[in-house]
Each structure stands twice: as structure tokens, then as C-alpha cells.
Structure 1
Amino acid sequence: MDEHRVLEQFIDAWARRDVDALMELMTETCVFRSSIGPEPGTTFTGAAAVRGAYARLLDPANPPAGTTEQLEITTGDSFGVVRWTARDSAPDGRPVITRAVDVFEFEGDRIAVKDTYRKVLGDAP
């Protein structure tokens, strides 16, 4: 199996906002651990729940205003990490920069887990 190739396909499908193509790369028992929510983050378990989360995130009615740059894909034995940076602007014009990583776990030639971690530009506590 070529985890790197699968992650390239995933990134391409995400950029196209193609939920069907994303789900073709996921297992039926997949898990998506988002970076936002009460856990912290929110965990979506199973293909139907993950599809719903991806559909909300990638809703064509809410296209991203900024840009996302894929920085690096690193893969190992049944896992992969994708580093990325998103750039946008706040309503007052200040830059909004998000640096993040997605950690993927594989089962066979499909993605079993997508776990997102991110840092957001802002005031320190």
C-alpha cells in the first residue's frame, strides 16, 4: 500500500470539496477527530457520521475565503501526517493564520482515522 499516494488523493478531494471521493478513501468504521468541539474537538465515528461532518465542513454554500497550503506529507507504517497552513483575514482586516497537522491511521489501503490538531494566531492566555 502507498499511504503517500492515498494522502495525495485525500488532499486533492478535500481541495475539490468532493465528499464522495473522500469517503472512497475511508474505511466503513472510520473516525474523524475534529479540532473544534467540547472534547476538546468532536469525534465522529462511522462512515455516516464522518460523511456528515465532512459535508458540513466542505459545504459549497460556505467556500473558504482564504488559501490553504499543503506543506508536507510524511508517512510511515500504517500512518501519515500532513502539515498545512491556512491564511484568511478577520473582518477588521487582521490576518488569520492557522497552522495544523492531520494525523492519519490506515487499515489496509484505506484511512481509518483522521485526527486534526491546529494552532491559531491570536492573543496568548
Structure 2
Amino acid sequence: MTGPMTGPVTGPVTSATLAAFSAAWNRHDIDALMDFMSTDCIFQSAAGPDACGSRHVGAQAVRQAFAAVWHAVPDAQWVGGRHFVHGDFGVSQWTFTGTAADGSRIEADGIDVFTFRDGKIHLKNVFRKVRPNLPAPR
């Protein structure tokens, strides 16, 4: 296993683990992200047809859903991260920024609610406060 800025650490999940997970998102590093996830992981996105958004179950489905975020918003970043862990439960707070396919800017505040199992992220459940699209940068 690698250190807190490049990949998961051994032992229980801590706020430093979630900070490293966030850093992997900002690097668009799918392999590092998946190292943090359990093999039977679940990702519940902020939007989708169900009350939970879109639900992706299992490492392969989660990997594809994570990668789709960067496809949709190639300059996606999660800034201002704050992370909290208590036992097998954690929260990351952030501001999502990026550029949509139509060129408009996206900015949304949100949180990830996590559950952990055996030192890995088992569930990543996303909640966002979406603001109207901002004008494209000039």
C-alpha cells in the first residue's frame, strides 16, 4: 500500500484516507480510487432515476461510473475538502467544479457519506446542492 497522497493506507479508514481518496479524484486516477474501494463496493450517485440516484454495485460497475464522471466533465475537481471519520462511518464535504459539455461552468457544494468495511470504502453515497449552470469562462 502507498502513502496518504497517492493511495490507500493500511489499517482503519481515517480522515487522511478520505483526503487521499479526494486527491485521487482530482488526479483523475481510477486505479488509485479503486484501491480504496471494497470488491463488493456500492456507489450511489447524486442524480438518477431512483431515490438513491443511480446505484452501481460491484467493483467493475463502480469503476465505470467513476470514470464516466471525468468523461462528462473532463476538468472535474473537488475543492475545499473537509473529512470526518467515526468508526465505520465517514463524511467528506467539498465543492465540485468543472465545465459541462455545452461549455457552461458547473459549481455545486456536496458531501459524500461513506460506510467502511475492513479498511476499505464499501458505500459512497453522494449528495449535492446544484446551482444553475454558470456562464462559460471567457
Q: Same fold (TM over 0.5)?
A: yes
Q: Deviations over 1:56-99 (max 9, x none)?
A: 1123x84126x531331111011110001124578697x74311
1:80 matched to 2:115? The reply is no
SS of the residue corresponding to residue 64 of structure 1 reads: coil
Q: Which 5+ residue runs of structure 2 have no aligned equivalent?
A: 1-11, 133-138
Instruction: Report if the CA contact (8 A) 2:112-2:127 is conserved.
Output: yes
Greater relative CO, 1 or 2 (CA 8 Å, sep 6+) = 1
The 1:25–1:121 alpha-carbon spacing in structure 2 relative to 1, beyond 3 Å, is same
Q: Does 1:54 align with 2:66?
A: yes
Secondary structure at 1:37's aligned position in 2?
A: coil
1:22 maps to 2:58? no
Helix, strand or coil at the partner of 2:74: coil
Aligned partner of 1:70 among 60, 73, 80: 80
How many residues end up aligned between the 2 structures? 119
Structure-1-length-normalised TM-score? 0.82
CA distance in structure 1 between the aligned counterparts of 2:31 and 2:63, rounded to whole angstroms:
8
Contact 2:109 2:128 in 1 (8 A): yes
TM-score (norm 2): 0.75
Gaps of 5+ in 1: none
Post-superposition offset of 1:44: 0.2
* 1:80-99 → structure 2 map (5 Å cutoff): 80-87=90-97, 96-99=106-109
Identity of aligned residues (%): 35
More strand as a share of residues: 1
Q: In the alignment, does 2:120 pair up with 1:110?
A: yes
Paired residues of 1:75 and 1:81 also in contact (CA < 8 A) = yes
Q: Determine if the alignment matches structure 1 residue 39 to structure 2 residue 50.
A: yes
CA RMSD of aligned residues (A): 2.3
